[in-house]
Amino acid sequence: MFLKNNWYVAGFGEELTTTPLARTLLGEPVVMFRTESGEVAALEDRCCHRNLPLSHGKVEGNSLSCGYHGMVYNTTGQCIRVPGQDVIPSGACVMHFPLVEKDGVLWIWMGDADKASPGRIPDYPIHSDPRWAHKGNHYTINCHHELINDNLIDLSHVGYVHGKTIGGTPGAHSEAQISTERRDDGVTVRRFMPGTVPPPTYQRAMNFAGNIDRWMEIRFVPGLIRIYIGVNDAGQGFDEKTQMDKMGMRIFNGITPETENTTHYFWTAAHNFRVTEPEVTNNFYGEISATFEEDRTVVEAQQQRFEQFPGRKNVHIKTDAGGIHARRVITQLIEAERLAEKGNQAPAGPVIRIAQTV
């Protein structure tokens, strides 16, 4: 079961050309394409004539033609031409999903199109801010999307899983000063690690002379986790106003269910140091990419055990607070959606606001 009335990342703008792109999102086959005038669109990936995926077709002008018998669809999924006849059969259309390109990201709405408000799409100005350089990728991970949320919201694993990159010194991560801000629409976890040993990735990038102060802010809303990280020489403090620390990092994590047990992971890693040197950006990307491969190993192995032992209980520990709240937010939003579909009132309890914190 998925939360449908939500903006999810469907890809990066640079991926989308006039060649149709097929992707399964929330269990639905979707075809995305860019028209010759540059508009982006997403339709159900299935022709209403004989079910050939429309991703086998091609873009013609501002339309998509089916690769089997040539029926032509506009960007809202309406068939506008049938070769060899003047009359378009009634009901000749496919589902259309609102798709918006913003901050270099493609955002899709898989729920009730009437409720899709582009104003609710989270902001990510880092992608176009010249003070930051970034590079990213898209992976498909073989696990339930909430395991990726857990992984990114609770960074106490960093010391254990990422010893060769951003981790090491496990105690420093487990003992970080943590605060958790719970909201109806998400959760923000803040971590502060004063006077700690710089991990290998930081050392390779900045060659710190001594210990460092690190802060991390992990902002979750359904479908997106933005991680903001700042690093300074120990005792130097942080510039709250500019947030331009000696070493600043911003990680964008778009987490979109593909199926119940597989997840699209769209990520970028941005840095504020040596931003005009592509080699530095490539190296930083390589370090973060290696980190995520370490996470993939963990979450895919967890998934296997969850499937093997679906009824066995898990215990919770202190650092689970953020992840537990994230699960609660998703569960409550799905329940509210389910009741709204049935025409009932939202359940008693905390008010759920869809508006996303930016």
In whole angstroms, how close is the CB of 99 to ligand FES at the nearest point? Answer: 21
Our finding on whether 295 is near Fe ion (CB under 5 A) is yes
Which of 47-55, 148-156, 242-250, 339-347 is the region at the interface with ligand FES (rule: CB under 6 A)? 47-55
Q: Which of 66, 158, 229, 321 binds ligand FES (CB under 6 A)?
A: 66
Give CA–CA dist 303/297, Å, rounded: 10
Quick check: 68 binds ligand FES (CB under 6 A)?
A: yes
CA dist 101 and 149 (Å) reads: 24
- Burial profile 146-159: b = 16 or more Cβ within 10 angstroms, e = fewer: bbbbbbbbbbbbbb
- Total binding residues for Fe ion by CB under 5 A? 1
Shortest Cβ distance from residue 58 to ligand FES (Å)? 12
274 phi and psi angles, rounded to 5 deg: 45, 50
Q: Which of 4, 18, 22, 49 binds ligand FES (CB under 6 A)?
A: 49
- Cβ–Cβ < 8 Å for 158, 152: no
Out of 14, 17, 39, 50, point to the residue binding ligand FES (CB under 6 A): 50
- Exposed/middle/buried for residue 297 (C-beta within 10 Å: 0-12, 13-18, 19+): exposed
Contact partner at residue 295 from ligand FES, Fe ion, none, CB < 5 to 8 Å by partner kind: Fe ion
Of the candidate spans 10-18, 63-71, 84-92, 113-121, the one that interacts with ligand FES by CB under 6 A turns out to be: 63-71
Asked whether position 324 contacts ligand FES by CB under 6 A, the answer is no
Residue 69 partner contact from ligand FES, Fe ion, none using kind-dependent CB cut-offs of 5 to 8 Å:
ligand FES
Rounded CA gap, 114 and 4, in Å? 12
CB of 189 to Fe ion, least distance (A): 14
Q: Is 166 in the site for ligand FES (CB under 6 A)?
A: no
| Min dist. Cβ of residue 33 to ligand FES (A) | 15
Which residue from 17, 19, 36, 69 is in contact with ligand FES, where contact means CB under 6 A?
Answer: 69
**Residue 45 vs 258, nearer CB to ligand FES:** 45
Question: Shortest gap between Cβ of 75 and ligand FES (angstroms)?
Answer: 17
Q: Does 47 bind ligand FES (CB under 6 A)?
A: yes
Residue 258 binds which one of Fe ion, ligand FES, none, with CB within 5 to 8 A depending on kind?
Answer: none
Look at residue 306 and give the partner it binds from ligand FES, Fe ion, none, a contact being a CB closer than 5 to 8 Å depending on partner kind.
Answer: none
Q: Which one of ligand FES, Fe ion, none is in contact with 49 (Cβ closer than 5 to 8 A by kind)?
A: ligand FES
Q: Residue 212 touches which of Fe ion, ligand FES, none (CB < 5 to 8 A by kind)?
A: none
From residue 225 to residue 244, the character string flagging contacts with ligand FES as x (rule: CB under 6 A) and all else as - is --------------------
Nearer to ligand FES, 67 or 170 (CB): 67
Interacting residues with ligand FES (CB under 6 A): 47, 49-50, 52, 66, 68-71
Interacting residues with Fe ion (CB under 5 A): 295
